[in-house]
Structure 1
């Protein structure tokens, strides 16, 4: 009959009622010869049934269903019918098991396919908005939901800030979705704070506030909330909702949690990408504001960084350089950076093998677009674990500096040459006047004036000679007058010459010589001037009550001379600069103003002897200037 329950495939029959229920519960065959005598019989055929045979469908001890056949005559079914139907039930059990397994495989495959599509879609961008939209779209499709919403969590203000939402397959925006205070939605607070997935519908909402949120704010009948977790950090949550009431099953929840994991990682990556991009933009803004051209390559020679100043210096487009390799012939990088072709090739080979690189500062000339002098500084780049990750080249246009330096040198040379002759003449004339002034009639004022004039001219002549000697030492034109000399005698003479000045300043001047000090081969006049410069500086900057020590010791084939004082010392950043002409430490005043030439001369003179000079902290306070000289250069 049309009103029979068996005509409705969606009709659910209780497993504890009727003959079917009895067979399902007992898992035994039931042959009813007369249904009118069976109190459990339920009529499904409009009263025509008189006999019934029901066989359970069993697979591996589990009842999967029941097969029932009915007849309009009493006692219609025999043992043979029972056997035949039992065989059919066995085949049905196998078929149902296979169908269930196939359905599970198909469902699992669909889930995996959707998850793969979601993963691909989520990972396709590093923009947070694009990632958020991909997440809600993917999870709505995977769960066959009517909509989805993703929010970022701000634990300080305890608010959820909307990132993206989708409804009926379309992105939505609106002020009502912009921000949520979780204190108003206890279930969402629990989801975030306890880091667990929750679901509720209108009929089983955890609280009235949660019911109101679902009904009025989301206008839905069921909601699944999944937290976005990375490590110990909660980034936000995803809400999946349906208009009708729905209970999300285990498969749906598992899929949602898998997508949430991917989403959390992707959002963390977008945050990292954003911070890196901001840092990169800040770095490039700084680099582009400098006057130096900068270029960095990785260990494979690939150009990873270049600033606009480099483009001005080389006429190479920054956009074309980034991503290119230094070895590309079309770039002619060796010419632009001032390398020989084989020199650049060796650098690239060393970079690829991650071996230590030689680095320093050099200058070279370029002809295009105009003739200029460039200074190239280079250095390896290491990461936080001191692993080599690249090579940095810095170019600076020093054309103007070089021209100024050459002009200054030419002017200095001209002035020196023009001053030396008249100064020598004036000094000779003063000596003649001193000799001519004899007898008691000479006024003391005249004698003092001649003496002062003579000393002043000698100082000026010394300055001129220092400038000349520095120029000759720099050009290699000065020839040393080498001879064997005793350092102990030279040092004793110098101390004796300066002891009066030390006593006047209240300074203790000490000389410390080791026994058996060997003789050295040196230019006595140049070495005397070097040590005189150091002693003069030490006495000039040492306050009253301090001390100056001149120490000489031998180490193998070398001697070490130290002039130490208890003055203000030399700051770290000036310990190289003070050996240049006219460079002095600002803010530190001595008893008298110096010329800024003494240390420049000293460094060149020591280097001409094959030695070196440097300054370091004196353990007792102040500075310690040390000279290392070979016994026989």
Structure 2
């Protein structure tokens, strides 16, 4: 609770009460109006000063350009007139060029008088005109004389020409001096305008500072008092109240704050019991769960756990302190950032070993995303289910499959050899008998393939699958797979479309295993493609790898199952009640494909086929791969 004098001192001082006779909106409007007026005044004066200065400078530059150009034209005209005079004296020919040059000089001289900006320039222009007239009279006198004209020119006309040229230079210098004086006046005008603008800006700054101080006095301090009251409410002190000064928005805000505090106090009194009951119910529910459950926040802190988790994992306070494998910790971190909850694992191979009650047991981890756990940040729930007995049963199942598959291979091989020999001598059999023999041979081959798959499955689970590596030509590998599937495609009414280059870079791998991958994916595509559909097979080199794509026009695989199709014993039709069964199969083919491709350093993925209908499987095998 704040001291009694703090909040009234911040909000309810008598002087401030008188100052707040106007609503805050009116006072802010007045303050904004003052700022706008000072800003506009500063801008208007600045624009006027700059405009006046710009006009002065433009006029000066324009007059300077005209005068300078005229003087230059006059000087050039005198030179050309002198050249024309010499030519006329030398050849005693026509005077037409001379008269034309004199007309040009007269025109320049007339223009010079019209652009003169001072009496001195006008007087000098008149003197120049007289010098030019004297020069011309001398030239005309020389032309009428019969003696040596060039000597007379150097004696009489040339000195007068030099005088005119000197006066032209003096006129240019006089003009430059006048322009310098005009520039000095313009500079002084600019400095004066700058001082005035600075003074106006300083006055505007002073007014703004006074307005800011005024607003701080009548607004900021009451808002600080309100912030203090809100902080008291946050601490649970719902008895906090603010004094109300009616007449403006701050008084309305203080009154609203007091009503909120009263309602919060009432809510706390009536709902605290319900909150506590809900908390006890949640704790009892978590305590009754047989699985170990932990709640981890976005900072990787363990914020809640049930007794089973405490007994199994101890009192670790952070995710990185939990006695679980690093792979499980990374899955929890990914679940924290996910928008949707992660899919519960169904493969007992994901189980992790932990010690419970002094015995080694296996637990299957499940990570679920929790949105907006604390202050908008997400979290994750880690559930550890005891699957020790299930893991033992799974190991026994794997051993049984391995033993049964191994023991069945010898009699099955004998049976296949017998059937093949019988098929070779089928000429003596009836059509019905030959059909039965062919069906038996096909069934025995399918059974042998299934047994091989189960044997590969047990080798993969035991980490004993070895690859017979050799250089392989991928294009030939794909074409052979297409040839093997051609009969099944024809019987199924499915069209095969291929885009296979003649040659592709060699890869190093197990040809038999890769053939198994292609046969499995291609047979699945044919199995699920309806009559009249098509299967497209393509192969290409891409980013240092061989990419093989197989796309069908079947019903497709939902996006949520695009990763699970590679799980052991998973079949999509088991999860979609309306999906038509795709024939025989144990659900281990794609699992074997993923593991075999992974042993080659490659990847296999499932996506929607181009066009939005069907499924596309993409296999990537690196060209350069070292195991």
| TM-score with structure 2 setting the length | 0.51
Deviation track 1:479-531 (CA, whole Å, cap 9, x = no partner) reads: 21222222222222222222232233222211112465222222111111111
Higher relative contact order (CA closer than 8 Å, sequence separation 6+): 2
Shift of 1:566: 1.1
Cα distance change on mapping 1:512 and 1:334 into 2, 3 Å: same
Q: 2:478 aligns with which of 460, 466, 491?
A: 491
In structure 1, the partner of 2:124 is: none
Q: 2:421 aligns with which of 432, 447, 454?
A: 432
In structure 2, the partner of 1:609 is: 600
Deviation track 1:180-226 (CA, whole Å, cap 9, x = no partner) reads: xxxxxxxxxxxxxxxx99xxxxxxxxxxxxxxxxxxxxxxxxxxxxx
Q: 1:600 aligns with which of 588, 591, 603?
A: 591
Shift of 1:364: 2.2
CA distance in 2, matches of 1:120, 1:485: 74
In structure 1, the partner of 2:519 is: 532
Shift of 1:315: 8.3
Judge which range, 450-459 or 620-629, deviates more.
450-459
Shift of 1:445: 3.3
CA distance in 1, matches of 2:304, 2:608: 39
In structure 1, the partner of 2:438 is: 451
Cα distance change on mapping 1:277 and 1:462 into 2, 3 Å: same
Cα distance change on mapping 1:280 and 1:512 into 2, 3 Å: farther
In structure 2, the partner of 1:222 is: none
2:522 aligns to what SS in structure 1?
helix
**Matched-pair contact (CA < 8 Å) for 2:355–2:361:** yes
CA distance in 1, matches of 2:616, 2:375: 33
Shift of 1:434: 3.5
Does 1:628 find its partner at 2:626?
A: no
CA distance in 1, matches of 2:415, 2:256: 98
Q: What are the residue-to-residue correspondences of 1:490-569 with 2, within 5 Å? A: 490-514=477-501, 517-569=504-556
2:569 aligns to what SS in structure 1?
coil
**Matched-pair contact (CA < 8 Å) for 1:581–1:600:** yes
CA distance in 1, matches of 2:538, 2:270: 62
CA distance in 2, matches of 1:481, 1:631: 16
Gaps of 5+ in 2: 1-225
**Matched-pair contact (CA < 8 Å) for 1:470–1:604:** no
Judge which range, 547-556 or 469-478, deviates more.
469-478
Q: 1:406 aligns with which of 372, 395, 399?
A: 395
Cα distance change on mapping 1:402 and 1:386 into 2, 3 Å: farther
CA distance in 2, matches of 1:625, 1:271: 60
In structure 1, the partner of 2:450 is: 463
Does 1:296 find its partner at 2:295?
A: yes
2:621 aligns to what SS in structure 1?
strand
In structure 2, the partner of 1:365 is: 354
In structure 2, the partner of 1:338 is: 324
In structure 2, the partner of 1:314 is: 312
Q: What are the residue-to-residue correspondences of 1:342-357 with 2, within 5 Å? A: none
Cα distance change on mapping 1:441 and 1:528 into 2, 3 Å: closer
Q: 1:423 aligns with which of 409, 412, 423?
A: 412
CA distance in 2, matches of 1:364, 1:276: 38
RMSD of aligned alpha carbons: 4.8
In structure 1, the partner of 2:262 is: 263
Cα distance change on mapping 1:413 and 1:274 into 2, 3 Å: same
Shift of 1:627: 0.9
2:466 aligns to what SS in structure 1?
coil
Deviation track 1:86-110 (CA, whole Å, cap 9, x = no partner) reads: xxxxxxxxxxxxxxxxxxxxxxxxx
**Matched-pair contact (CA < 8 Å) for 2:312–2:355:** no
**Matched-pair contact (CA < 8 Å) for 2:312–2:356:** no
1:371 aligns to what SS in structure 2?
strand
Shift of 1:534: 0.8
Cα distance change on mapping 1:617 and 1:125 into 2, 3 Å: same
Deviation track 1:526-549 (CA, whole Å, cap 9, x = no partner) reads: 111111111111111111222111
1:500 aligns to what SS in structure 2?
helix
In structure 1, the partner of 2:191 is: none
2:390 aligns to what SS in structure 1?
helix
**Matched-pair contact (CA < 8 Å) for 2:602–2:621:** yes
Shift of 1:385: 10
Deviation track 1:427-480 (CA, whole Å, cap 9, x = no partner) reads: 122233344x36x64333333332222221111111111111122133232221
Q: What are the residue-to-residue correspondences of 1:150-161 with 2, within 5 Å? A: none
CA distance in 1, matches of 2:504, 2:274: 64
In structure 1, the partner of 2:465 is: 478
**Matched-pair contact (CA < 8 Å) for 1:474–1:604:** no
1:502 aligns to what SS in structure 2?
helix
CA distance in 2, matches of 1:230, 1:524: 83
CA distance in 2, matches of 1:314, 1:465: 41
Shift of 1:555: 1.2
In structure 2, the partner of 1:619 is: 610
Q: Hey, which of these two has a bigger chunk of strand by percent?
A: 1
2:304 aligns to what SS in structure 1?
strand
Gaps of 5+ in 1: 1-114, 143-195, 198-228, 232-253, 328-332
Q: Hey, which of these two has a bigger chunk of helix by percent?
A: 2
Deviation track 1:596-626 (CA, whole Å, cap 9, x = no partner) reads: 2221211111111111111111132111111
Shift of 1:396: 2.3
CA distance in 1, matches of 2:366, 2:449: 37
Cα distance change on mapping 1:606 and 1:282 into 2, 3 Å: farther
**Matched-pair contact (CA < 8 Å) for 2:351–2:387:** no
CA distance in 1, matches of 2:278, 2:495: 56
